Amino acid sequence: MIRLTPWRHPLSATVTVPGDKSLTHRGILFAAVASGVSRVTGWLDAQDTRSSLRLVQQLGVEVKELTPETLVLESPGLFGLREPEDVVDCGNSGTTIRLAAGLVSAVPGLTVFTGDVSLRKRPMRRVLEPLASLGVRSLARQDGYAPFAVAGGPHQGGTVEMTVASAQVKSSLLLAGLSASDPLTVREPVASRDHTERLLAYLGVPIRVTGTTVTVEPVSRVDPLDFAVPGDPSSAAFWAALAALLPDSRLYLPHLLLNPTRTGFFQVLERMGASVRSTVVQTAPEMVGDVEILPGRLTATRVTAEDVPSLIDEIPLVALLATQAEGVTEIQGAHELRVKESDRIQVTADILSRMGAAVEPRPDGFRIEGPTRLKGAEIDAHGDHRMAMLAAVAAAIADGETVIHGAEAVAISYPGFMAQYAQNAGR
């Protein structure tokens, strides 16, 4: 439990955020696919990415070096991975469990997956069913929840039409495609983050992307990877929201991942009236750059299904900004938020309503009327890292004290968040 009081000053700072979570997971999993010694620098060391690390170790990957900056892994390669001796516990990490379900289709024998209380309530049919259409056998609990088991072995390619825009599902299938007997094509309804495609191409895997259709060819061997992870825009978004909400702020966020499939939040922030300036410093394999945020008068906006994948994890922050914006903000097409680490539509609406905002949860989003003054309240983060950080940002502009229960959940994606928050708040 933590107690927070409002900030009485702007956020005028340079904030360096930890490495991107999605890219760190992929760095670790692709190091397992590659044969030999791979290096991932700037990695995110957090509970979620440790779940991916444990998984690859159970599959026979050796950790050669682990420092706050560098991770060096040695793998026998995709076709040398071995059946885990015990159940693989993926903790809270949806990315680990879903991507690994596809990866282990190449591993002879049985891989049994489980996770924490939240992960065991998240839908897994969305990966197990399309994997089954390729001939990958699995068994899951009723309703398709973990624990589930995947039996590795021969399977084919083909074409899969995805029904949800999900990078986790797409990536799981593409990983299974690497060990299929023929090419695999995956089609998404709306483009989701494309890190897997970019990294596979960077590794020299034959992969073609046309619009929202991706085709990957089977491989016999993948060369080791040497990959630098830039800062996580989803972690940076909490600071960007703080700067947009605290008058006279000036925030500088150096070296962020600026892949266009991830920067929807910055676009919405700008649309709502903040000033967002970015300078690109690298374009391949991922776009990287520095971002500067200045506050402005906030006005309501509309977020639609097409926008959603590029800011899926940041939508709760848009809801918070909307409580301080002039007019009615509507967020639609975001039903996926209901099956994240918590039901983020309900939990966000509960947090903001308790703090005095006019928020109406909808099956696929929110209707928010602003501006309203927020007041401190007692908040339950529901074990969800992003809900705890959302409440901390809201507390900075609320009147009175805010108490957050379950704030330790931030360690899932951003272990240093509360220390950095206290340092900037105490200025």
Site for ligand S3P in 272-331 (CB under 6 A): 312-313
Ramachandran angles phi, psi of 183, nearest 5° = -60, 150
The CB-of-161 to ligand S3P minimum distance in angstroms stands at: 16
Amino acid residing at 80: G
| Neighbouring C-alpha atoms within 13 Å toward the C-beta of 245 | 29
Catalytic residue among 20, 116, 194, 313: 313
246 vs 313, beta carbon nearer ligand S3P? 313
DSSP H or E stretch at residue 422 = helix 417-425
The verdict on 235 binding ligand S3P (CB under 6 A) reads no
Residue that is written with structure tokens 């529901």 in the block = 382
List the one residue from 40, 53, 167, 174 that touches ligand S3P (CB under 6 A): 167
277 close to 252: Cβ distance less than 8 angstroms: no
C-alpha dihedral (279, 283, 288, 291), degrees to nearest 10: 20
20 vs 295, beta carbon nearer ligand S3P? 20
Which segment (134-142, 162-170, 300-308, 354-362) binds ligand S3P by CB under 6 A?
162-170
Could you give the angle at the alpha carbon of 14 between the alpha carbons of 45 and 249, nearest 5°? 125
> Active site includes 182?
no
List the one residue from 336, 350, 380, 384 that touches ligand S3P (CB under 6 A): 336
25 vs 54, beta carbon nearer ligand S3P? 25
23 vs 357, beta carbon nearer ligand S3P? 23
241 close to 234: Cβ distance less than 8 angstroms: no
The CB-of-372 to ligand S3P minimum distance in angstroms stands at: 28
Site for ligand S3P in 89-118 (CB under 6 A): 95
List the one residue from 166, 179, 215, 348 that touches ligand S3P (CB under 6 A): 166
Site for ligand S3P in 168-187 (CB under 6 A): 168, 171
- Torsional sign, CA 14, 20, 21, 25: negative
29 close to 268: Cβ distance less than 8 angstroms: no
The CB-of-13 to ligand S3P minimum distance in angstroms stands at: 26
DSSP 18: P
Nearest to 314 by CA among 382, 232, 370: 232
From CA 13, how far away is CA 249, in angstroms rounded? 8
Does residue 233 have a cis bond before it (omega within 30 degrees)? no
The CB-of-255 to ligand S3P minimum distance in angstroms stands at: 19
Annotated binding site: 21-22, 26, 94, 122, 166, 168, 313, 340, 344, 386
Residues classed as catalytic? 313
Binding site for ligand S3P (CB under 6 A): 22, 25, 95, 166-168, 171, 192-193, 312-313, 336
